[in-house]
Amino acid sequence: MPALSPTRATALLKKMRGRRVLVLGDIMLDEFIWGRVGRISPEAPVPVVQVTGESFHLGGAGNVAANVRSLGGTPSLAGVIGRDDAGRRIEESLGDAGIASCLEISETGRPTTVKTRVIAHSQQVVRTDREEASDLPAQTEAALIEAVRRELPSAEALVISDYQKGAVTAPLLRKVLPLARRRRVPVLVDPKRRHFRLYRGVTLVTPNQVETEQATGIPLDGEEALVAAGRRILALLACRAALVTRGEHGMSLFERGEQPVHVPATAREVFDVTGAGDSVIATMALAIAAGATLPQAAALANCAAGVVVGKVGTAQATPQEVLAALRTGP
């Protein structure tokens, strides 16, 4: 029997409407340069892209918030941007999307993180990153912690989106996680290796395959290794659950005291994996806030990821798309 029927999914998606999710982490601007390739450069063996357009989208923690919004939730976003054109674009995009934010603007010359992707014929040709990934200055960090302290009382879930760009620091985690625990707010983390052990006691972590291998030291070369790695994460972090995202193999849920649940991928075609992890954790947060069991939340998140990878560029899923993907099945 499937973990989630269309009837239960419909009910959960309705209950997800308006749920308040606080997203904390590395905010970035995703820039896409669109074009077509008709020849190879005579100067070097690289394609020449004839540019036909460009677009800008919320990325990183911003895309998590955008996914919460697209699914009907009420997100608020806490993070840091630079005093630059990219930062202004992010503020405009948040306003256009109706996403509340408590942004700290760096006064130290720290730029907004920008990822630029060149896309030709629906395929990514190259990506460039402009960023300053060192930890935030103490003053900016303190202001961000205070912003979280203000926003947390109204949150029904907290998502920490750690892209290792400097917004999520060890001192910040040591302050924020106890605040969430005292208020019994579920904490979901999209983790990076550097801070992995600092996520101890959170509700859920969502590492991908590489992050799982790095955190556990176990190569994921089969189901037995996968199960061992999932259980090791639970032991290392004393967390309620770990959801290991596995690309075309779907995802695997490890919940304390329960048997592993393997959820097959639903995507029919994969055009772009950009932001798939953002859609997963946004859906998980909303579903948990709405009262879903973790297997039910994982089933919804898997469908949301399947929708997103079927689109080109940084994208989000809607409730209607998630429900259609669930009904279609893998």
Tell me phi and psi for residue 108, to 5 degrees.
-100, 5
Nearest to 255 by CA among 292, 200, 283, 294: 294
Task: Give dist(CA 231, CA 238) in Å, integer.
Answer: 10
Query: Which residues have a catalytic role annotated?
Result: 278
How far is Cα 175 from Cα 171, in angstroms, rounded to an integer?
Answer: 6
Q: What strands, in cross-sheet order, belong to the sheet with 241-245? A: 100-106, 74-82, 20-25, 157-161, 187-190, 204-205, 241-245, 251-255, 261-263
> Positive or negative, the Cα torsion across 91, 129, 278, 55?
positive
Choose among 136, 145, 196: nearest CA to 166.
Answer: 136
Residue in the structure block whose two tokens are 């904490």: 187
DSSP state of 235: H
